[in-house]
Structure 1
């Protein structure tokens, strides 16, 4: 998810770096109260969750309970993930829904393998780069009909279910349908983002009628019902994926976009297909982190950790200037490649993934880092150097050992604002991530998948499952993946503490979507409350622009295999969610 306050290059909306740094002198860490807990863990806001049979961690307490109910009734972890994801589209429309895309990594205990699924949709076939140029556009707008791409989530549900489901998919969708008809109370963080979205999206046809109460967002604790979505999910439950992509729903979508200046068509929906892909990995101090290859940004986390592996972060310590400085510099290097090389492999066939995530390439890039001075400009790798080769996140694990790492999104908060009449969902605006420049790997083309920010993650150790996790939130996601692994492996935190510890976000790298100029000033380092003042001052001395920001630090959920049996769960303290098991 890209929430309303995580837009690219948020340079002018925040206080001056020096004023913020001085304010941090007097600020207690946001996790300070955790130090009074009897566990003594300085960053854990609550305990890890332990369960002997199954576990679910989602960004909404009710969807966590839905996932557990499905598994108690005999469903697999995939059944539970589908049920929870469908319910999140109802309960957390600020970050998810059937109008968006889906990615997943599944550990199958029978084959003892990881399976990756890329459920991203393509651009309308009738929309061309020339059309944007004719309109005088330099960038694709974030809302309205132009950034809409084919929704891939429903197809993703059925692909996952066909391979790993045990219950009828109608059973998986039944809880969401019931809550959509009977209603559910809106939670705190979701209400905040919903309220922020309404003024921006109410001008688009169908949004105000279907996603407001008398023109306003639902308030905290207020009951929300969505009978239109219930009807849509019932059609999908009865008619399968084709009810969405080839039936009356598709015809309603086609008519809606034709009537409102859009390009998404029946043909685009009918021809959609996601695909199973091989996850890729790199080893970090004995742990294999697995990500999905582009068109997503997951391999940026692998690049960051490959660069950092040469440094003794444990001896530097969490919150030290070396910790923050080295992470920031590694992120800059990875994101320079992200802007240049990450794109739809069906169009950018020369994308050098194997070389980008290699240890040799990391050693080459590491030479650009100085311990005493921040990088102001970073160029991506050249072909010669490479010729060797708001979102929701949730995770579920069942009693048989199947584990699912799943992420799903409308892209920017509640998406495009386009909501076809009677369907009860909003279309994603993922097409905003295309570049309106010929020759760029991520240049707009008909039937092409855009660069994607949403990435699930998985970690194995010695070929066995260890951790299923993710950190939602735009460009924060690979940064968050790397930080969670550093917290667990380098700094010895437990699963909950690793997510609660204050985070780093570097902003200002060159953007894959071309929405900002190339980085020339080193960008900005956002530090969540809790970093020592001495670290902030020393970062500034080394040339970093340090600031604080409200909210762009992501949302984390995780399930770890308990070596004593069962699972350990953790959930994001910055969101409304819950980890629970049985």
Structure 2
């Protein structure tokens, strides 16, 4: 009987994970699926499908709507996407990340007293990427016109009932908003009153943004009248945004407020189509964007975890949590030192980092007695037949992990020390996600972001500027691949995901939440693959989050971003036995009632010819299927 108890406990954990009740129902559809961060935006995607559009059209419509609703991004932010093309049976990676502007150098920011580029204002802005990304995807892979796709967003810009989440975020950020005249004009609809932001349910009007979107439609119409093709007409709108009068006003408004972006910066920027990075986990091909995102860290973690029998450990047992935590710590240590823009020297050692042999070497370092607080970057270079040129730099780093000094927390982090209102705002603030799929086989996964509230609007465009410059470093000792330079992309947290099985779409999934994104997506994937959960169960299931990483966002000083080894966020329901075992391993525990991250996903049921949709129960995420 004594030996049966652990087995019975494990069986109980596995069965309870598979049978868990969800707060929201799983979505079903056989024709299409549209999921994103706001109900109105999901409705816009559904409207596009009803017009006869494909998943790319619907995804672009939802992207335009969420930008217009500031959920939690703007038209001046950045877009990262994976698209499955059923005509070629290939996954396409879309890089619509903006770049650092002219004059953005380490010397410039250090001269202003920064340890990292600032979090807010015009100096935080990379060039806008979302508008170009949307038009590029639509032109190449959609079927509808830009006018049709922008119609819901334009109707919203003319006036829509603003939700409490956004309205209250404006009110909380009004002191910063007042620093920027164009933001003040748009957001503070009741100047001088006690509440200066819109009230929940108030019809929120954005005339400047409506004018900007109207100009894009006018450019498309004019090109069509001249006999241009559908794709050429959409790209005429693209040119008006990046080279025409919209660009001129954006640059003027940015410079007036102290920004660096030039007309040349906008004209030279382009959307890039790339080969995604991929690894195979137990017969499933998992795709991520390249190393200008944190995406490959999930692939690295999967490579490490493939060396363990996770299912036998049991869902969220102490051994499972410890093993996954250690694998994530190793992957994040590599992310924090080796990832950066692949179009700039030096070249990142991705072949070595994604090597299965390298993963086996890293897996062999995991010990079950305690957390390894000193996990650092590995040496992937021998696994691609090279010598590591940064061994001396790695030895010289010597940062002390002072767990008491960091005063900035990841988006999805501890509620301790802040009100629940502030905590929920941080939790939901991350950005948004977009998932779309159709019966023709098109699948789209997007994690757009940037230009979130409180946003600095560039002139009379109605466009909030990105804040992604803060993800650069100024010192190569932190990461020689991610030092800021004009024209360079920062290494971002934004990371859509897609998985194929037997050459066909299996899962499409994404999540918001800064440095927690890859953590929650990794556990979501394992929840489905190892523990048999459906997408809604996996989206709501209790995950855990680590702070044993360098923060990618927030904090003005180096110590603000340093790792907090052993710090872990667990769900309130974690059994006392598991808590005690983790404490003995050296972990510092905190708890919350929601730890899964706002995950949205689509599962492809090839047996029945249908879609299963999972829509996060965290905030206002919403999905519609048909």
Both proteins in one fold, TM over 0.5: yes
Per-residue displacement from partner, 1:326-371 (whole Å, max 9, x unpaired)?
1111111000000111100111342111221221111111122111
Query: Is the counterpart of residue 47 in structure 1 residue 87 in structure 2?
Result: no
Aligned-partner Cα distance in 1 for 2:351–2:18: 42
Answer with 566-575 or 194-203: which moved more: 194-203
- The structure 1 residue matched to 2:160, chosen from 175, 183, 204, is 183
Query: Is the counterpart of residue 573 in structure 1 residue 617 in structure 2?
Result: yes
Give the corresponding residue for 2:509: 469
1:190 and 1:576 in contact (8 A); partners too: no
Aligned residue for 1:146, secondary structure, equals helix
Per-residue displacement from partner, 1:262-281 (whole Å, max 9, x unpaired)?
11111111111020010111
Query: Is the counterpart of residue 548 in structure 1 residue 595 in structure 2?
Result: no
Aligned-partner Cα distance in 2 for 1:197–1:146: 18
Aligned-partner Cα distance in 1 for 2:67–2:564: 39
Change (3 A) 1:386 1:435: farther
Query: Is the counterpart of residue 207 in structure 1 residue 246 in structure 2?
Result: no
Give the corresponding residue for 1:351: 348
2:431 and 2:450 in contact (8 A); partners too: yes
Give the corresponding residue for 2:427: none
Aligned-partner Cα distance in 2 for 1:327–1:452: 22
Per-residue displacement from partner, 1:176-229 (whole Å, max 9, x unpaired)?
10121132341x544454444334443233222212332533343333222221
Per-residue displacement from partner, 1:130-187 (whole Å, max 9, x unpaired)?
222222322211112212110111111121112111111111001110121132341x
Could you list the runs of 5+ residues in structure 2 that have no partner in the other structure? 1-15, 220-236, 387-429
Give the corresponding residue for 1:425: 463
Aligned-partner Cα distance in 2 for 1:497–1:552: 13
Aligned residue for 2:482, secondary structure, equals coil
Give the corresponding residue for 1:257: 254
With structure 1 as the length reference, what TM-score do the two structures score? Answer: 0.88
Query: Is the counterpart of residue 75 in structure 1 residue 56 in structure 2?
Result: no
Per-residue displacement from partner, 1:4-25 (whole Å, max 9, x unpaired)?
xxxxxxxxxxxxxxxxxxxxxx
Aligned-partner Cα distance in 1 for 2:444–2:18: 31
Give the corresponding residue for 2:287: 290
Aligned-partner Cα distance in 2 for 1:455–1:198: 30
Query: Is the counterpart of residue 158 in structure 1 residue 135 in structure 2?
Result: yes
Give the corresponding residue for 2:111: 134
Aligned-partner Cα distance in 1 for 2:527–2:21: 11
Per-residue displacement from partner, 1:524-565 (whole Å, max 9, x unpaired)?
111133322221221111001111368785321111112201
Give the corresponding residue for 1:377: 374
Change (3 A) 1:366 1:206: same
Aligned-partner Cα distance in 1 for 2:294–2:99: 17
Per-residue displacement from partner, 1:299-319 (whole Å, max 9, x unpaired)?
111111111122222122222
Aligned-partner Cα distance in 1 for 2:498–2:97: 19
Aligned-partner Cα distance in 2 for 1:521–1:292: 27
Aligned-partner Cα distance in 2 for 1:80–1:224: 24
1:378 and 1:519 in contact (8 A); partners too: no
Aligned residue for 1:254, secondary structure, equals helix
Aligned-partner Cα distance in 1 for 2:580–2:139: 55
Query: Is the counterpart of residue 233 in structure 1 residue 213 in structure 2?
Result: yes
Change (3 A) 1:521 1:228: closer
- The structure 1 residue matched to 2:433, chosen from 389, 393, 405, is 393
Aligned-partner Cα distance in 1 for 2:380–2:533: 39
Aligned residue for 2:173, secondary structure, equals helix
Aligned-partner Cα distance in 2 for 1:359–1:119: 30
Task: Give how far 1:392 is off.
Answer: 1.1
Give the corresponding residue for 2:453: 414
Give the corresponding residue for 1:505: 545
Per-residue displacement from partner, 1:443-464 (whole Å, max 9, x unpaired)?
1111111111111100100111
2:289 and 2:296 in contact (8 A); partners too: yes
Aligned residue for 1:273, secondary structure, equals coil
Please show how residues 479-558 of structure 1 align to structure 2 within 5 Å.
479-511=519-551, 515-516=558-559, 522-548=565-591, 554-558=597-601
Please show how residues 2-81 of structure 1 align to structure 2 within 5 Å.
41-81=19-59
Please show how residues 89-108 of structure 1 align to structure 2 within 5 Å.
89-91=67-69, 93-108=70-85
Aligned residue for 2:307, secondary structure, equals coil
Per-residue displacement from partner, 1:243-300 (whole Å, max 9, x unpaired)?
2111111111221222222111111111110200101111122211110111011011
Answer with 219-228 or 57-66: which moved more: 219-228
2:540 and 2:596 in contact (8 A); partners too: no
Aligned-partner Cα distance in 2 for 1:519–1:229: 39
Change (3 A) 1:460 1:247: same
Task: Give how far 1:112 is off.
Answer: 1.2
Aligned residue for 1:475, secondary structure, equals helix
Please show how residues 264-283 of structure 1 align to structure 2 within 5 Å.
264-283=261-280
Aligned residue for 1:408, secondary structure, equals coil
Aligned-partner Cα distance in 2 for 1:494–1:140: 41
Give the corresponding residue for 1:167: 144
Task: Give how far 1:398 is off.
Answer: 1.6
Aligned-partner Cα distance in 1 for 2:585–2:165: 36
Answer with 144-153 or 227-236: which moved more: 227-236
Give the corresponding residue for 1:331: 328
1:504 and 1:553 in contact (8 A); partners too: yes
2:18 and 2:531 in contact (8 A); partners too: no
1:292 and 1:298 in contact (8 A); partners too: yes
1:43 and 1:500 in contact (8 A); partners too: no
Change (3 A) 1:81 1:520: closer
Task: Give how far 1:427 is off.
Answer: 0.5
Change (3 A) 1:482 1:234: same
Aligned residue for 1:156, secondary structure, equals helix
Task: Give how far 1:41 is off.
Answer: 3.5
Aligned residue for 2:83, secondary structure, equals strand
Aligned residues: 541
Change (3 A) 1:257 1:191: closer
Aligned residue for 1:56, secondary structure, equals strand
Task: Give how far 1:394 is off.
Answer: 0.7
Aligned-partner Cα distance in 2 for 1:47–1:530: 21
Change (3 A) 1:194 1:359: farther
Change (3 A) 1:313 1:153: same
Aligned residue for 2:80, secondary structure, equals strand
Point out the structure with max Rg over C-alpha: 2
Give the corresponding residue for 1:434: 472
Task: Give how far 1:579 is off.
Answer: 1.5
